[in-house]
Chain A
Amino acid sequence: MSTTTSMNEQMEPKVLWLDRLLAVASSVGKRLAMPVVGFAAFLLLWSVAAQNIDTSLGKFPGPQAVWQQFGALHAEHNRSREKEAAFYERQEKRNAARAAEDPDYVPKIRAYTGKETFVDQIGTSLVTVMSGFFLAALMAIPLGIAIGLSRTLNDAVNPIVQLFKPVSPLAWLPLVTMVVSALYVTPDPIVAKSFLVSMITVTLCCIWPMVINTSVGVASIDKDLVNVSRVLRLPALTHVKKIVLPASVPMIFTGMRLSLGVAWMVLIAAEMLAQNPGLGKFVWDEFQNGSSDSLGRIMAAVLVIGFIGFLLDRGMLLIQRWVSWDKSNIAN
């Protein structure tokens, strides 16, 4: 084997280069082959099953019908954007004309109030989940660090965390809705009430895994590293910054990834339940709409929800790889 390669090398170096390229291609091919096969099998099963399911809204949508709906949703979005642009153009012209007649005229600018498209709903859901998630991180990580550092505080807070951790955030939803309605009463709201309700629900579900993972990460720091800090007499803040935080970054991120995954699932359900703008509302509206396209559109939404959830998780993993020193600890 080795003799043949070395002979090849001497006589035909170009062939060797080609060989290597082929080897790389085949290894990439091998890695991709099985996922492709799996996906194809899934599509096949789906289309066969779909053809055999008759609902009151027609046949269950197969891959092709869903693909069509993706196209339709996209076209709808484009049409809506054109309408919006046309609306603003008309408004501007009108205001310019009136201002020319009457110099004292203060132009009224009205916002476009068309129906949100699928793409708009995706945007709304993403913004909501991210804001709720960051709000939770802002509270949970410092709290988790404090609990991890202090046995006493842990004893005090842990029962509460354990009590609220298993509660589905959807149970909170009615309470959150009422509290937000009662307390958020400004004549000129910066954000919509519905946004606030969804966001707080997301926060409520993100906070517990983050608190628990952060505190466990902090509490399980190698004792020798803590001793290093004690020998150096590092001040408390430096201790947290230089030792505690970096040491618990892997665990903190595990908590963040967990909670972002749960948050995305919960948000969709919350939007459906509360009729708050977002992908959940899109699904519910389509269900209520009950046209022959509805199931296809819902299926399209399901795929998009799954894909976005996957991207969010991958995104967190990338950030975790980037900030964490412990590369061995990061699994898929």
Chain B
Amino acid sequence: MSTLLDISHIDMEFPTPKGSFTALQDVSLKIAKGEFVSLIGHSGCGKSTVLNVVAGLYQATRGGVILNGREVSEPGPERAVVFQNHSLLPWLTAYENVELAVKQVFGKSKSKPEMKEWIEHNLKLVHMDHAMHKRPDEISGGMKQRVGIARALAMQPEVLLMDEPFGALDALTRAHMQDSLMEIQAELNNTVIMITHDVDEAVLLSDRIVMMTNGPAATIGEILDVKLERPRDRLALAEDAEYTHLRSQVLKFLYEKQRKIEPLSPGAAASKKSDTARKASAA
């Protein structure tokens, strides 16, 4: 398979009052068309930074990202992002949120009725056609994330970037969303990079799992090929030996090789958690 996206020797340094902080060091990854890659690692390891560099929201200090033979220097709709916190415009309905993206991307190439059809098609794809004209504050967290995905898909991106898309959802909704995403993926065969904390999610959805070492100066530790047959069924896989093996591989990497020493007192752990959450939202 030919390479669609080439993340080439990326270093990322952030200036801080105490001097520059190296978040990423020499991250290289080649992704083929139609591949589903997930990035997994502990909080603060720079997963989001990698995604933001690919999205063009950050400029890498050294190295670069090449998409279809062209270097990426700024954000663009061909690298649509599904943000962690849906990032829908709260004053627009689901339909209008998708419409904003569609008008911007296809305003010149599609006629009005075509655009309407395309917006509705994408909302139908994520099963949100029944609540198209509701505002974000009138729908549930899972539904908001669906609309966020519809908006990204509607841009017809070459690479779909997902930053912990289901991280803020409860377990049942998350499972439901994962199934939906697999369904969509089977239909559209998008190229996807997804950041996740969730080992099961990574194994279930990905073709490859990229495991990152802990920061500072984080880089790619191991890459795991997931050769499970598609379509995948979570119930069947739960008993599957190959699945269990892959899962334990990831767990071993995270909890043996890259074990992160967290303070044990609950208060400190909580503050650490909120701290990383803030970092993630800042990124």
In Å, the complex CA distance between A231 and B122 comes to 18
| 4 interchain residue pairs of minimum CB distance | A325-B91, A224-B87, A230-B75, A246-B91
Stretch at the interface among B99-107, B205-213, B267-275: B99-107
Interface residues of A (CB under 8 A from B): 222-225, 227-228, 230-234, 238, 242-243, 246-247, 325-326
B-side contacts of A230, CB under 8 Å = 56-57, 74-75
Check if B100 sits within 8 Å of A231, measured CB to CB. no
Check if B90 sits within 8 Å of A325, measured CB to CB. yes
Smallest distance from the beta carbon of B83 to chain A beta carbons, Å? 5
Residue B64 CB within 8 A of the other chain: no
Check if A326 sits within 8 Å of B90, measured CB to CB. yes
Known: A325-B90, A326-B90. A231 touches B80 (CB 8 A): yes
Check if A225 sits within 8 Å of B76, measured CB to CB. no
A-side contacts of B83, CB under 8 Å = 224, 227-228
Known: A242-B100, A325-B90, A325-B91. A231 touches B85 (CB 8 A): no
Check if B100 sits within 8 Å of A232, measured CB to CB. yes
In Å, the complex CA distance between A326 and B281 comes to 21
Known: A230-B57, A243-B89, A325-B91. A223 touches B282 (CB 8 A): yes
Residue B135 CB within 8 A of the other chain: yes
Please tell me which one of the listed residues A224, A232, A243, A325 contacts residue B101 in the complex, with CB atoms under 8 A apart: A232
In Å, the complex CA distance between A231 and B75 comes to 5
Smallest distance from the beta carbon of B73 to chain A beta carbons, Å? 12
Smallest distance from the beta carbon of B252 to chain A beta carbons, Å? 34
Check if B104 sits within 8 Å of A227, measured CB to CB. no
Of all chain B residues, which has the CB nearest A230?
Answer: B75
Interface residues of B (CB under 8 A from A): 55-57, 74-77, 79-81, 83, 85, 87, 89-91, 100-101, 104-105, 135, 155, 281-282
Please tell me which one of the listed residues A233, A238, A247, A325 contacts residue B75 in the complex, with CB atoms under 8 A apart: A233
Check if A233 sits within 8 Å of B89, measured CB to CB. no
In Å, the complex CA distance between A326 and B89 comes to 11
Main secondary structure of the interface of A (DSSP, over half): helix
Interface Cβ pair total, 8 Å cutoff: 54
Check if A225 sits within 8 Å of B87, measured CB to CB. yes
Main secondary structure of the interface of B (DSSP, over half): loop
Check if A231 sits within 8 Å of B81, measured CB to CB. yes
In Å, the complex CA distance between A221 and B104 comes to 21
In Å, the complex CA distance between A231 and B163 comes to 14
Smallest distance from the beta carbon of A17 to chain B beta carbons, Å? 33
Smallest distance from the beta carbon of A182 to chain B beta carbons, Å? 46
A-side contacts of B79, CB under 8 Å = 231
Of all chain B residues, which has the CB nearest A233?
Answer: B76
Smallest distance from the beta carbon of B148 to chain A beta carbons, Å? 9
In Å, the complex CA distance between A228 and B89 comes to 9
Smallest distance from the beta carbon of B105 to chain A beta carbons, Å? 7
Q: Which residue of A224, A238, A246, A247 has the most chain B CB atoms within 10 A of its CB atom?
A: A224
In Å, the complex CA distance between A224 and B85 comes to 8
Smallest distance from the beta carbon of A236 to chain B beta carbons, Å? 13
In Å, the complex CA distance between A278 and B134 comes to 48
Smallest distance from the beta carbon of B27 to chain A beta carbons, Å? 21
Check if A227 sits within 8 Å of B91, measured CB to CB. no
Check if B57 sits within 8 Å of A227, measured CB to CB. yes
Of all chain A residues, which has the CB nearest B80?
Answer: A231
A-side contacts of B87, CB under 8 Å = 222, 224-225, 227-228
B-side contacts of A222, CB under 8 Å = 87
A-B contact pairs, 6 of them (CB 8 A): A227-B75, A227-B83, A228-B89, A230-B56, A231-B77, A233-B77
Of all chain B residues, which has the CB nearest A326?
Answer: B90
Check if B101 sits within 8 Å of A227, measured CB to CB. no
B-side contacts of A242, CB under 8 Å = 89, 100
Smallest distance from the beta carbon of A253 to chain B beta carbons, Å? 14
Smallest distance from the beta carbon of A247 to chain B beta carbons, Å? 8
Smallest distance from the beta carbon of B173 to chain A beta carbons, Å? 20
In Å, the complex CA distance between A228 and B151 comes to 10
A-side contacts of B55, CB under 8 Å = 231
Smallest distance from the beta carbon of A325 to chain B beta carbons, Å? 4
In Å, the complex CA distance between A224 and B86 comes to 9
A-side contacts of B135, CB under 8 Å = 325
In Å, the complex CA distance between A158 and B90 comes to 30
Smallest distance from the beta carbon of A50 to chain B beta carbons, Å? 51
A-side contacts of B74, CB under 8 Å = 230, 233
Smallest distance from the beta carbon of A233 to chain B beta carbons, Å? 6
A-side contacts of B100, CB under 8 Å = 232, 242
Q: A222-B87, A232-B155 are in contact. List 6 more A-B contacts (CB 8 A).
A: A228-B81, A228-B83, A231-B55, A231-B75, A232-B100, A242-B100
